[in-house]
Amino acid sequence: MNIGGRIREIRKQSGLKINQLAETVGIDRVYLSDIERGKSTPSLKTLEAICTALNISLSDFFAEQGQELDPEIRRLVDTVKKLTPEQREYLQKLLETISNN
């Protein structure tokens, strides 16, 4: 499942309407809708805010439902949590560059 689909799934399980989640996170409802439909990709900062609003950790967000997150990925997520916002932005750009090649 993609990031947007996972957000939608968790949001619905939480009983939140899209406008409620968007307001809590501080983003536009249309933007959140685009994320859920796979038309936009959230920044790491936005994804963290969405996870916080949904009461889920980033690690759990990326875990398959009913499965533990791979320890290697969990370590990566834990490391990313320690980065400054500027470092996270740089990392996100780096990962996008790598994945596009």
CA distance linking residue 14 with residue 8, whole number of Å: 10
What pTM, to 2 d.p., does this model score?
A: 0.66
Identify the pLDDT of residue 67. 59
HSE (side-chain half, CA atoms, 13 Å) at 93: 5
| Architecture of the 3-99 domain | Orthogonal Bundle (1.10)
Beta strands in the chain (DSSP E): none
Closest CA to 47 of 91, 15, 98: 91
Q: Any idea which of 6-15, 33-42, 80-89 has the lowest mean pLDDT?
A: 80-89
CA distance linking residue 83 with residue 76, whole number of Å: 11
The answer to whether the beta carbons of residues 21 and 11 sit under 8 Å apart is yes
Q: Which of the four pLDDT bands, split at 50, 70 and 90, describes residue 2? A: confident
The structural domains of the chain, with segments of one domain joined by +, span: 3-99
How buried is residue 57: exposed, middle or buried, by Cβ count under 10 Å (0-12/13-18/19+)? middle
Identify the pLDDT of residue 64. 63
Q: Is the pLDDT of residue 73 over 60?
A: yes
pLDDT digit string, tens, across residues 45-62:
999 999 999 999 888 888
Torsion sign, CA atoms 82, 88, 75, 4: positive
